A and B are shown apart, each in its own frame.
Chain A
Amino acid sequence: GENVEQHPSTLSVQEGDSAVIKCTYSDSASNYFPWYKQELGKRPQLIIDIRSNVGEKKDQRIAVTLNKTAKHFSLHITETQPEDSAVYFCAASKMGSQGNLIFGKGTKLSVKP
């Protein structure tokens, strides 16, 4: 079955710097890769996703890149702000299949003012 590895487990940056979180997946049939942000005690919220027919997607300060050959994808946050502090999870799934998401273990991002 699918296995998703996520690194780093913790990341601390200064406000205004960029943050990068990386994930690798094992199942080449996976073709949908969402990223979720979870603040302490709250629900995971979908912040951006990418499909395997696209190499990069951007939404304001966040972007996601996908390398299908290497089976890895990354989340990039530019101009970080204290409110970006949260745990970020990557996930992988197969569109057209049953849709259950396989999650990485999460990255705790701390943005210091």
Chain B
Amino acid sequence: NAGVMQNPRHLVRRRGQEARLRCSPMKGHSHVYWYRQLPEEGLKFMVYLQKENIIDESGMPKERFSAEFPKEGPSILRIQQVVRGDSAAYFCASSPKSALYEQYFGPGTRLTVT
């Protein structure tokens, strides 16, 4: 049973470009969470999605950030017009419907904005 997959693992963007991060949940999991980890800090919740629905985006900045989880395909976290402060590791986690709190993390995407 494959775990949570994320790609790319490393992403370098210049200021002003767009970053697209992808997450495929574990087989059988239909719930996806995105977290951001700044260097030397803990993980901060950004957004929680089910297929075709954003359930909670309270942790996501209102501007430049968006997320989706289409009926087919991976969940995507999109950051438009990136700035240096967006440099961080972005982790997604998935959980089964029966236990939303049991979250299994992907390997993360390390975004560097130059």
Contact = CB atoms under 8 A, between A and B. Distances in A.
A101 B59 CA distance: 11
A42 B107 CA distance: 6
A89 interface: yes
Interface residues of B, number: 25
A98 B104 CA distance: 15
A35 to B, nearest CB: 12
A93 B104 CA distance: 14
A75 to B, nearest CB: 15
Contact of A102 (B45, B102, B106): B45
A89 B48 CA distance: 20
A25 B59 CA distance: 19
Contacts of B55: 98
Contacts of A100: 33, 45, 48, 56, 59
Given A98-B48, A98-B55, A103 B43 contact: yes
A74 B105 CA distance: 22
Interface in B26-64: 31, 33, 35, 41-45, 48, 55-56, 59
A43 interface: yes
Interface string B93-114: 0010001111111111000000
B69 interface: no
Interface string A41-64: 011111001000000000000000
A18 B33 CA distance: 33
A93 B44 CA distance: 13
A103 B45 CA distance: 9
Interface in A48-90: 49, 89
A2 B56 CA distance: 15
Contacts of A44: 43, 91, 105
Interface of A: 6, 32, 34, 36, 42-46, 49, 89, 93-95, 97-106
Given A94-B101, A99-B103, 8 more contacts: A34-B101, A43-B106, A89-B42, A99-B101, A100-B33, A100-B56, A103-B43, A103-B44
